[in-house]
Amino acid sequence: MDVRRVKDYLYWLYYQYQLVTCSYVLEPWEQSMFHTITVTVLAMVAYTAYVFVPIHVRLALQFFSQIFGSQPEGAV
């Protein structure tokens, strides 16, 4: 893959991000604050999903396996 094409594609993605969030109309210091807050919120969402989603999926699987009548693992 061409390095220039990757660079152009990343620039295009960043441009789309600026258009969608309307951050291109902000002053530079406002842009940096906006980007910092956005990255922080996305990092917190990713961490929360990484920590809590597997726990809830496991509990949901246990709940539905009990409803549909399969034997618990310790009952055999």
Q: Where are the domains of the chain?
A: 3-69
- The pTM assigned to this predicted structure is 0.64
3-state secondary structure of 72: coil
CB 26 within 8 A of CB 34: yes
> DSSP letters of 3-67?
HHHHHHHHHHHHHHHHHHHTGGGS-HHHHHHHHHHHHHHHHHHHHHHHHHHHHHHHHHHHHHHHH
Residue 9 φ then ψ, to 5°: -65, -45
State the SS3 of 55-66: HHHHHHHHHHHH
pLDDT tens-digit series, residues 46-70: 999 999 999 999 999 999 988 887 6
pLDDT tens-digit series, residues 14-45: 999 999 999 989 999 999 999 999 999 999 99
